[in-house]
Structure 1
């Protein structure tokens, strides 16, 4: 996998914001937060958490014991990246900051986009993907995910 550039103090502030957004998630398995921003200009364009919006069933995948990483079409939730991009005022050349927390294991995890979210990030012309592990070139990372 592509090696990220290290995260600096400025990126840490954005990661704290993404973690705060993740606290809005109503998923019982994993909580993700995403912030679309022009980090160099300190401008937030949109935020999103993975959650089942306007849906009485929070996790039908959990009910059906569907393993993580499979059959996303059965999930009632919108991914954090999807929600952030949908709610963004602008995306062209912006950054997306991703935070992840595994509720089952009780630990922070690196939040990498799934194939669908990778396609959306590419389509939105996002410049960089920032995770807890570092800063990725969005096009390079997303193409790697899509073609894996």
Structure 2
């Protein structure tokens, strides 16, 4: 049977999976689709004063990305942005091809190791590391970008961001480190020029 390119509308009753379908009764007299504002289920523009600012917009994306984390201890999400456009996303979890953390893939996370200790034996990849690695894997440019993370990046991730050309890191939840590590952490930030700031909910 040949394909028809006429303007006959499909029967909406035969397409129950489509919501907001414009029925024949709404097909305009001129033979075209009605304006988007008249279509059933059309999105209503958000009031200007209710639109999220850019920080909120991208941090919200990072929170959603964190929901994909397979770590049984902490779920973290990160997104890399350049010129207000999304470059890459990442969440913490075991490497490709390795059993998920919550399925026993990481012995350290599934042990009773105290928080902040025994990271040398943790095989999980941090959210920031994943975002940077996946950008490189797919040939996306990170130089001059901004990284949004739901958790303050660790010292290792901060070094990787510097090497990847990330110019700014915005984090939501702060995480303290031992005094000696805080000293070298702050020294790295100062010397590299990486801007590190905490996300604040707009008033």
- TM range, smaller chain: 0.7 to 0.9
Match for 1:123 among 163, 168, 175?
163
The answer as to whether partners of 1:28 and 1:59 remain within 8 angstroms in 2 is no
1:90 partnered with 2:141? yes
The answer as to whether partners of 1:115 and 1:145 remain within 8 angstroms in 2 is no
Judging changes above 3 Å, is the alpha-carbon distance between structure 1 residues 23 and 146 closer, same or farther for their aligned structure 2 residues? same
- Unaligned 5+ residue runs, structure 1? 1-7, 100-110, 135-141
Q: Could you say which structure has the higher strand fraction? A: 1
- Unaligned 5+ residue runs, structure 2? 1-51, 175-183, 190-203
Q: Over the residues paired in the alignment, what is the CA RMSD in angstroms?
A: 2.3
By how many angstroms is 1:146 displaced?
5.2
Query: What SS is found at the alignment partner of 1:62?
Result: coil
- 1:34 aligned partner: 78
Judging changes above 3 Å, is the alpha-carbon distance between structure 1 residues 93 and 84 closer, same or farther for their aligned structure 2 residues? same
Q: For residues 3-50 of structure 1, give each alpha carbon's deviation from its aligned partner in whole angstroms, at most 9, with x where no partner exists.
A: xxxxx8210010110011111101111100010111xx3311111000
Question: Scaled by the length of structure 1, what TM-score is found?
Answer: 0.72
Q: After the TM superposition, which segments of 4 or more aligned residues of structure 1 sit over 6 Å from their partners?
A: none
Aligned residues: 120
- 1:70 aligned partner: 117
Question: Scaled by the length of structure 2, what TM-score is found?
Answer: 0.54
Match for 2:98 among 34, 55, 59?
55
Judging changes above 3 Å, is the alpha-carbon distance between structure 1 residues 77 and 97 closer, same or farther for their aligned structure 2 residues? same
Q: Which has the higher contact order (CA 8 A, sep 6+)?
A: 1
Distance in 2, matches of 1:143 and 1:73, equals 18
Judging changes above 3 Å, is the alpha-carbon distance between structure 1 residues 28 and 119 closer, same or farther for their aligned structure 2 residues? same
Query: What SS is found at the alignment partner of 1:117?
Result: helix
Distance in 2, matches of 1:78 and 1:46, equals 15
Query: What SS is found at the alignment partner of 2:115?
Result: coil
Structure with larger Rg:
2
